[in-house]
Homo-oligomer: A and B are copies of this chain.
Amino acid sequence: IEAEDAAYLRETIGPLHESELGDVLRNLGHDQRQALVRLMGEEFDYTALTEVDEAIRLSIVDAMPNDQVAEALRELDSDDAVYILEDLDEEDRKEILAKLPFRERLRLRRSLEYPEESAGRRMQTEFVAVPPYWTVGQTIDYMRDEEDLPESFAQIFVVDPTFKLLGAVDLDRILRTRRPAKIEEIMHETRHAIPAETDQEEAAQIIEQYDLLSAAVVDETERLVGVLTIDDVIDIVQQEAEEDIRRMGGVGDEEISDTVLTAARSRFLWLLINLATAILASLVIGVFDATIQQMVALAVLMPIVASMGGNAGTQTMTVTVRALASRDLDIYNAGRIVRREVLIGLLNGVVFAVLIGIVASLWFEDVALGQVIAIAMVVNMLAAALAGILIPLLLDHFGADPAISSGTFVTTVTDVVGFFAFLGLAAWWFAV
């Protein structure tokens, strides 16, 4: 790139797969990326832009003149084009759309009208649709003659004259059937057509549950508008799992290509909330400062009770959040699962109470202290189990994402209960 050797670049980078080209882009510096795109010219495969983070994508697209972006988008499948367009600002997007041919503009604009992260946004608007009265032979001939087919497809759809969806046929079914058979005889009714407004996560769940290779996307009048393919589903499944992991870790939508400032800012809020809850826990400790002054061993031991509760609460919460996401947990079995978690908490609580009780008794040569910490441990493990399951359930019930905020709430409960149970019990016990 440094040598601006365009011919060499085209030769080595041209034949790469889009995802490999994405890897190359990711490992280049800011200026080098733009130089690469410029030097490759028409040989650059813009699909690679869908393989990199938003920050990298924007830096490349923003540096290109809108004319060139429009030219690039024409080469892409509609879902990839939408993917690139949706991150641009309003003005650029309008200008680019205006430069596209009428039909493509219409298609892209329609996709962009659907809400973010909906099936309508992610669908591909190129698909093969035939009338039900065609024969298998006619259909095969049509596919042999027609130039304007999608790049690849696994299913063809059957529609009536108003484009209302009637059914679908898998390609292997067509290949196994003799030419005179009518399409309507071999099609299956698509019971799983997806309304375009459906959230992408829900759409992916449908495709995944029924092991479909692709699913029809329909508008509110049940007309076929696009197709959601299984490779989109993989991306969605991965994106949603990723989102859950990040939210549970308190890092929001951060990407590794974000600048230091962006990343620091996105983590700031979570840390601020944590500061507030940590101060709350400190206030609880503050109540018992006189007791601690009399018996410093309490200060030494108190983080153990809080930490064990925090860990047990996180375990329960992880199971609960995942069970909610995979729909293994619903109101029908919530009671049973709550009972289960409380029992697990009680069981492990008792085991660790005995352990820490013995350790504390020996360490400070004080059996009473061992008894106090043992009781506090059982109490906090039970609180952890209850908080770990009830908080995500409540958040889910009120429409919030349980992955995003359960963690802080749960550890707040286990810190507060842990310190209060241990110090309060000690204050009462040793005062008696």
Contact = CB atoms under 8 A, between A and B. Distances in A.
A315 B267 contact: yes
Contact of A175 (B171, B233, B267, B286): B171
A149 B176 contact: yes
A157 to B, nearest CB: 14
B213 A275 contact: no
Interface string A15-57: 0010100000011000000000000000000000000000000
A419 B278 CA distance: 14
A136 B315 CA distance: 56
Contact of A263 (B175, B263, B322, B340): B340
A367 interface: no
Contacts of A17: 209-210
* Number of chain copies forming the complex: 2
Interface in A344-359: 344, 347-348, 351-352, 355-356, 359
Interface in A333-350: 333, 337, 340, 343-344, 347-348
Interface in A296-326: 296-297, 299-304, 306-308, 311-312, 314-315, 317-319, 322-323, 326
A237 B208 CA distance: 12
A203 to B, nearest CB: 13
A402 to B, nearest CB: 13
A313 to B, nearest CB: 10
Interface string A274-294: 110011011001100110110
B172 A264 contact: no
A254 interface: yes
A193 B265 CA distance: 44
Contacts of A328: 26, 256
A249 interface: yes
Interface in A225-245: 230-231, 233-234, 237-238, 241-242, 244-245
Nearest to A304: B278
Given A213-B213, A242-B326, A264-B348, 12 more contacts: A17-B210, A208-B238, A211-B231, A230-B231, A249-B318, A250-B318, A260-B344, A268-B351, A274-B308, A278-B303, A285-B299, A289-B299
15 contacts: A143-B175, A208-B234, A234-B237, A242-B326, A245-B245, A245-B322, A250-B314, A251-B315, A263-B344, A271-B352, A281-B303, A282-B301, A289-B296, A299-B302, A307-B415
Interface of A: 17, 19, 26-27, 140, 143-144, 149, 152-154, 170-172, 174-178, 208-211, 213, 230-231, 233-234, 237-238, 241-242, 244-246, 248-251, 254, 256, 260-261, 263-264, 267-268, 270-271, 274-275, 278-279, 281-282, 285-286, 289-290, 292-293, 296-297, 299-304, 306-308, 311-312, 314-315, 317-319, 322-323, 326, 328-329, 332-333, 337, 340, 343-344, 347-348, 351-352, 355-356, 359, 411, 415, 419
